[in-house]
Amino acid sequence: MVKKSKAELVIKGIAAASGIAAGPAFLLDQQDFVVPERAILDDEIPIEIARFEESIAHTKSEIQDIKDKIAKEVGGQESQIFDAHLLVLEDCMLIDEVKKKIASEKASAEYIFSQVLKRYIEIFENIEDAYIKERSADVSDIGRRVLKHLMGETRLHDFDTLLGDIVIVAHDISPSDAVSMYNKSILGFLTDIGGQTAHTAIIAKSLGVPAVLGLKDATLRISNQDYVIIDGRKGVVIVNPTEETKRLYEKEKAKLALVEGEYVNIKDVPAETTDGRRASLMANFELHGELPAVLRSGAEGIGLYRTEFFYMNRIDLPSEEEQFQEYRRIAEEMSPNPVVIRTLDLGGDKFVSSLQLPREMVPFLGSRAIRLCLEEQEIFRTQLRAILRASAYGNVMMMYPMIAGPGELRAANGILKGVKQRLRDKGIAFNENMPVGVMIEVPAAAMTADLLAQEVNFFSIGTNDLIQYTLAVDRANEKMAQFYEPGHPAVLRLIRRTINAAHDAGIRVGVCGEMASDPTLAVILLGLGLDSFSMSPTSIPQIKRAIRSMKFSDMEELARQALKLSTGQEVLEFMVAEIKRLVPDFYIYDAQNK
């Protein structure tokens, strides 16, 4: 009897790390330990408490070893994600509760700890805040490790038995598990839960493998050895693909390989149109471990240095010295190219436990970015001092996020002025002429761009938020994806207005949102007069190829025509058709290629 093949299944999740991979699935078994209840005698209570304390000590040592390993292999900043684990192990409330229950309920340490742990995890998972909910994975991971020591288990997962190229499928992947996968043949990660703020996303990017998270029930729908295709750019997973689908993706990968081969030849040449218009292509940047990719890409600098990572996934606030050393290191390694440091952009979807900010009903419209900095001025001053000190060691520029108009800009600059004076008083060196700019991310800023341009050195358009606020679309909500249109006429007109205002004032303007990495939209942006682009390092070669393949005069005409269209979809279809007509051999990756 011929075995019936499984039907192709397509699952949509959250694109967490870009790339395409294909191979057999390996389901990571992370079920909780089965801990039977075991009664103890009165004279065993001190013994059980001692066993519990010893297991906590062993686990601390184990986590510290893992933290040291990732600091050595990936980077010091990335290793800080384990500070949250250590904090759980130092939680006096949890530890005291376990000790008291061992004595009052006269049950084994492992049973009492497992019951207390389950209650803590349930509390985390029932909190609506996505970031806090994801932290339940930290508590769960620590719990399994403590129980491992209490129950005499030798290991949580036998990663040494992983053979061949595999795709890891799990409900969640803890940071410590991910570290254990270094130097293994891991093709990619798929998880039921998690989002772009999850540790798994950070680890996947560090490992350079694609990841799709938030698949909800992937572990129930995927079996061991199922053949899966991961499209990390679109957040799509295809399980048991047909031969036709396999061929399509093999063709896709082959195209990408050929294109990437072509890009090597243009790495060190300028992004210049065939009729002489030149644009600067820079990289978005967050972690020091990303620097080699930035340098390999041929980026002309860092156009957006996100500083939030210093504040996230840790139990304390970063010191001035810690920030200064890191900013200085990046500035020196990128010199003489510019490094544009964005001041703290927390709030919205970026949570920091050490600030203990109250949960807001509409976080994206609440206390975030420059508003938060103006409220928490000492935190702001600390960062400003670090940035200014680093400006003495390279081509450092600085910009404020989420400025809505001249009032906020002047308030921020007032604080900056005071910080500069104190540095002068102490004789601390900094660049007196460090360029200061603003991000144009809300319609109010675009509409007052002519006023803002009189008081800054440059603009950087943050299109991700500009689109969100202009179209009233939560970009983190999958249900709203159909309404998120980067090419919407309102968005394009606000961008045109911003560019014109900048040029009228004699300052440069760039884009650092995802629009910069889409060739169909990048062509429009350059046609509107944009001076620079900042994007993921992996996107730079494709955008450079697009720019070098066309005339600027053609781009200007395409931009004029695009502004006459009625919808973002019309703009996309028009641009794809026109680029293919003008540059027949240019490869465009979009939904129509599938």
Q: Which residue numbers are catalytic?
A: 199, 512
Q: What count of other Cβ atoms lies within 10 Å of the Cβ of residue 546?
A: 23
Q: Do the beta carbons of residue 371 and residue 347 sit within 8 Å?
A: yes
Start-to-end Cα distance in the chain:
34
Cα 92 to chain centroid distance, Å, stands at: 32
Give the span between the Cα atoms of 563 and 550, in whole angstroms. Answer: 19
Strand 227-231 and strand 236-239: pairing? Answer: antiparallel
Give the span between the Cα atoms of 313 and 308, in whole angstroms. Answer: 10
Q: Which residue has the tokens 């393949």?
A: 549
Nearest to 103 by CA among 178, 42, 24: 42
Q: Do the beta carbons of residue 525 and residue 516 sit within 8 Å?
A: yes
Three-state secondary-structure class, residue 232: coil
Cα dihedral sign, 461-467-471-472: negative
Report how far apart, in Å, the C-alpha atoms of 352 and of each of 46, 321, 356, 482 are. 38, 20, 7, 30
Ramachandran region of residue 412, left (φ > 0), alpha (ψ -120 to 50) or beta?
alpha
Q: Which residue has the tokens 């794809």?
A: 576
- Phi and psi at 344, nearest 5°, equal -45, 125
- Phi and psi at 14, nearest 5°, equal -105, 125
Give the span between the Cα atoms of 533 and 304, in whole angstroms. Answer: 10
Sheet with strand 20-27: strands edge to edge: 9-12, 236-239, 227-231, 20-27, 166-170, 186-191, 211-213, 14-17
Three-state secondary-structure class, residue 231: strand
Say which DSSP state 286 is in.
-
One-letter amino acid of 529: G
214: buried, middle or exposed (CB in 10 Å: 19+, 13-18, 0-12)? buried
CB within 8 A of 457, min separation 6: which ones? 397, 435, 436, 437, 507
The CA-based dihedral angle spanning residues 543, 544, 547, 549, taken in that order and rounded to the nearest 10 degrees: -110
